[in-house]
Homo-oligomer: A and B are copies of this chain.
């Protein structure tokens, strides 16, 4: 699959069949994640590919209440959206609720862990929440998502379970100095799977030389 085709049709696919993923397909998707760049090439992240029924059920049980608490804020936000975006966002909400109710059915949940030992967090001392550690983790997550798209696997980047990091660490034997960054359920799509995406036009996302200055000029 051509790169731009993969990128421009990578959707959040939240309705997943329980059908198993062939080991060779899964291996290709996981290998694609390992190709991502990391600071100093340290690759201070790992994936735990969870397929154990009991562990997936425990994770789903931890996820569901957080999804439920997320809904009211999201619904409030829908009220302020233009009708077309609101319709699309409402569908995302419904598929999110489906995922919350069926997460344990996904054949695999990829849990991305990371360790700060070799990550240089250049925004750690700023007077705001840090994000830079993610620069050595989420490129690998994106590679995994793109590979899943190529292989016809549904997938979505979720982070709600970071709210339960201590319980997830206990459940999956994650060492004290490793942490959680992303949870990606993988499986064949129930419905149409990947396809067209809705994004702001590049003219709204890119400026030239200074914030707010039009790139097109």
Contact = CB atoms under 8 A, between A and B. Distances in A.
Interface of A: 1-4, 6-8, 10, 12, 27-28, 30-37, 39-41, 43, 45-52, 55, 70, 74, 77, 88-89, 92, 113-114, 116, 120-124, 126, 128-135, 137-139, 141-143, 145-147, 150, 156-157, 159-163, 165, 172-175, 178-182, 197-202, 205-213, 215
Given A209-B48, A211-B174, A157 B135 contact: yes
Given A41-B89, A49-B215, A124-B129, 8 more contacts: A41-B88, A49-B208, A51-B209, A123-B162, A131-B179, A139-B157, A146-B146, A173-B213
A83 to B, nearest CB: 16
Contacts of A33: 205
A129 B139 contact: no
Contact of A139 (B27, B41, B48, B142): B142
Nearest to A1: B3
Name, among A45, A48, A122, the residue most crowded by chain B CB atoms within 10 Å (CB to CB).
A122
B142 A209 contact: no
A144 B206 CA distance: 12
A152 to B, nearest CB: 13
A208 to B, nearest CB: 5
A143 B209 contact: no
A142 to B, nearest CB: 4
A159 B40 CA distance: 12
A49 to B, nearest CB: 5
A215 B31 CA distance: 12
B130 A129 contact: yes
Contact of A142 (B36, B48, B198): B36
Contacts of A8: 32, 35
A46 B207 contact: yes
Q: Which 3 A-B pairs have the closest CB atoms?
A: A134-B134, A138-B138, A139-B142
A12 to B, nearest CB: 6
Contacts of A129: 116, 121, 124, 130, 133
